[in-house]
């Protein structure tokens, strides 16, 4: 009958993200219901779900799909990629000024730091240390870049390393500056759903001469299983202008400098 216009690749990916969001919200859903709700055939919905399942973002059962524990999924690189890009770019622009040419900069594993990594290629004679494959690849695309990758247990879902080897390597270096991000922050206290990464973020603050925390507004008011200190460990916090007022005050109460980056809004999701 009335055939539907073929959507662009980006639109398909967007739909799949939306499906995942819904599944994450509900925990479990019938496939037939999803097909109806997104107004696609059962076949297409199966294809979407097969794709998400192949990325280990949900489980496909007979007739229904189930989510993995929500925060674990949200932490996976494949899920966060491209999310809140405007905010992340704004944070990068506000933070890049901290970087001095010729210095050694440590960049944490986080999609928040990806735009920042792109900016770093413009600064001269930098040594960039990271445990994130994506950050390493981005910075190394500049011909004269010096990149040090920190080894350890490799996690495919984050495309980065962690664990005791990583901690040990971190303890033996002393970068001039470190950029760290957080997945969850409430009243100035930081949390991460994966213990290994919580430990790493703490160790980074200890090892770096100066450390900067990058968090967009969506991370505020959330918590996760493993606390990893508070904003007091940082010398500067960079966030965007949709940070809740009381959270902003909480950070200032720690005596930490806060830089609020303006985000140009066209069509931002809440």
Partner DNA sequence: TATTATTAACACACTTTATGTGAATATGTC
Partner DNA sequence: GACATATTCACATAAAGTGTGTTAATAATA
Which residues would be at the binding site for DNA (CB under 7 A)?
1, 3-10, 12, 15, 31-32, 39-44, 46-48, 50, 60-64
- Cβ of 115: how many Cβ atoms within 10 Å? 22
Minimum CB separation of residue 93 from a second copy in Å reads 24
Stretch of residues binding a second copy (CB under 8 A), selected from 35-43, 70-78, 141-149, 184-192: 141-149
53 is an interface residue for a second copy by CB under 8 A: no
Sequence-separated (6 or more) residues with CB below 8 Å from residue 257: 235, 236, 237
Measured from the CB atom, the residue of 66 and 209 that comes closer to DNA is 66
Beta-sheet pairing, 160-162 with 146-149:
unpaired
CB of 52 to DNA, least distance (A): 12
Binding residue for a second copy, selected from 22, 53, 83, 140, defined by CB under 8 A = 140
Q: How far apart are CA 180 and CA 105, in angstroms?
A: 11
User: Are 176 and 216 in contact, with CB atoms under 8 Å apart?
Assistant: no
Residue 244 in contact with residue 222, Cβ under 8 Å? no
Nearest to 19 by CA among 46, 32, 38: 38
Task: Tell me how far, at minimum, the Cβ of 169 lies from a second copy, in Å.
Answer: 6
Q: Which is nearer to DNA, 41 or 249 (CB)?
A: 41
* Buried/exposed 38-75: b ≥16 CB within 10 Å, e otherwise: eebeeeebeebbeebeeeebbeeeeebbebeeebebbb
- Indicate which of a second copy, DNA, none lies near residue 144 (CB less than 5 to 8 Å, by partner kind): none
Q: Does 147 bind a second copy (CB under 8 A)?
A: yes
Judged by the rule CB under 8 A, the positions of this chain that interact with a second copy are: 56, 133, 136-137, 140-141, 143, 145-156, 159, 161, 165-166, 169
């Amino acid at each position: 009958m009335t055939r539907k216009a073929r959507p662009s690749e980006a639109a398909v990916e967007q739909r799949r993200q939306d499906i995942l969001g819904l599944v994450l919200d509900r925990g479990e859903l019938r496939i037939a219901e999803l097909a109806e709700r997104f107004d696609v055939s059962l076949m297409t919905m199966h294809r979407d779900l097969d794709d998400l399942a192949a990325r280990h973002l949900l489980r496909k059962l007979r007739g229904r799909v189930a989510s993995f524990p929500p925060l674990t999924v949200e932490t996976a690189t494949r899920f966060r990629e491209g999310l809140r890009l405007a905010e992340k770019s704004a944070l990068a622009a506000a933070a890049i000024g901290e970087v001095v040419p010729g210095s050694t900069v440590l960049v944490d594993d986080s999609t928040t730091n990806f735009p920042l990594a792109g900016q770093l290629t413009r600064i001269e004679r930098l040594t960039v240390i990271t445990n994130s494959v994506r950050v390493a690849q981005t910075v190394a695309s500049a011909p004269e870049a010096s990149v040090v990758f920190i080894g350890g247990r490799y996690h495919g879902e984050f495309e980065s390393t962690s664990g005791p080897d990583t901690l040990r390597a971190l303890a033996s270096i002393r970068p001039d500056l470190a950029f760290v991000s957080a997945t969850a922050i409430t009243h100035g206290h930081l949390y991460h759903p994966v213990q290994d990464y919580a430990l790493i973020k703490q160790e980074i603050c200890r090892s770096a001469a100066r450390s900067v925390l990058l968090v967009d507004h969506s991370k505020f008011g959330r918590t996760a299983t493993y606390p990893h200190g508070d904003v007091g460990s940082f010398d500067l916090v960079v966030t965007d202008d949709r940070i809740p007022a009381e959270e902003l005050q909480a950070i200032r109460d720690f005596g930490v400098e806060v830089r609020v980056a303006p985000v140009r809004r066209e069509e931002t999701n809440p």
